[in-house]
Structure 1
Amino acid sequence: MDNLKITTYQGYLFWENVDKNLQNISLRLSGMRTNTDLIILPEMFNTGFTMNAEKLAEPMNGKTMQWMQATAKKYECVVTGSLIIADEDKFYNRLIWMRADGTYECYDKRHLFALGKEHQTYTAGTKKLIVEHKGWKICPAICYDLRFPVWLRNVGDTYDLLLIVANWPERRSLHWRTLIPARAVENQSYVIGVNRVGHDGNEVYHSGDSTCIDPNGNVVYYKRDEEDVYTFTINAEELEKARRAMPFLKDADSFHLDV
Structure 2
Amino acid sequence: MDAQLAVIQMVSSDIPSENLEQAAGLIREAAREGANLILLPENFAFMGRHETDKLALMEPDGEGVIQSWLADQARQQGCWLVGGSIPIAAPDGRCHATCLVYDNEGQRRARYDKIHLFDVDLAGGETYRESRSIAPGKQPVRVETPWGQLGLSICYDLRFPELYRHYAGAELLVVPSAFTRQTGAAHWESLLRARAIENQAYVLAADQGGLHQNGRQTFGGSMIIDPWGQVLARMEQGPGWVMAGMDRDYLQSCRKQLPALQHRQLD
Partner of 2:124: none
Match of 2:105 among 94, 101, 106: 101
For the residue of structure 1 that corresponds to 2:174, the secondary structure is: strand
Number of matched residues?
252
TM-score (norm 2): 0.89
For the residue of structure 2 that corresponds to 1:250, the secondary structure is: coil
Partner of 1:20: 18
Structure 2: distance between partners of 1:99 and 1:52: 30
Partner of 1:168: 179
Partner of 1:29: 27
1:148-183 Cα deviation digits (max 9, x unpaired): 01111256x431111100000111122111101111
Contact 2:39 2:204 in 1 (8 A): no
Match of 1:149 among 161, 174, 183: 161
Match of 1:199 among 202, 211, 216: 211
CA-CA distance at 1:250 after TM superposition: 0.8
For the residue of structure 2 that corresponds to 1:212, the secondary structure is: strand
For the residue of structure 2 that corresponds to 1:224, the secondary structure is: coil
Q: Which moved more, 1:101-110 or 1:29-38?
A: 29-38
- Calculate the aligned-residue CA RMSD, in Å: 1.6
Are 1:57 and 2:69 matched, yes or no? no
Give runs of aligned pairs for residues 1-150 of structure 1, distance below 5 A: 2-14=1-13, 16-32=14-30, 33-48=32-47, 50-60=51-61, 61-80=63-82, 81-88=84-91, 89-104=93-108, 105-115=110-120, 116-150=128-162
CA-CA distance at 1:19 after TM superposition: 0.9
CA-CA distance at 1:54 after TM superposition: 2.5
Partner of 2:125: none
Contact 2:28 2:77 in 1 (8 A): no
Q: Which moved more, 1:184-193 or 1:27-36?
A: 27-36
Structure 1: distance between partners of 2:44 and 2:151: 19
TM-score (norm 1): 0.91
1:185-218 Cα deviation digits (max 9, x unpaired): 1111111211011112331212311111111111
Structure 1: gaps spanning 5 or more residues: none
Structure 1: distance between partners of 2:173 and 2:206: 11
Partner of 1:236: 248
Q: Which amino acid aligns with 2:78?
A: E
CA-CA distance at 1:228 after TM superposition: 1.6
Contact 1:140 1:162 in 2 (8 A): yes
Q: Which moved more, 1:237-246 or 1:86-95?
A: 86-95
For the residue of structure 2 that corresponds to 1:24, the secondary structure is: helix
The structure that is strand-richer by fraction is: 1
Contact 2:235 2:241 in 1 (8 A): no
Structure 2: gaps spanning 5 or more residues: 121-127
Structure 2: distance between partners of 1:206 and 1:230: 18
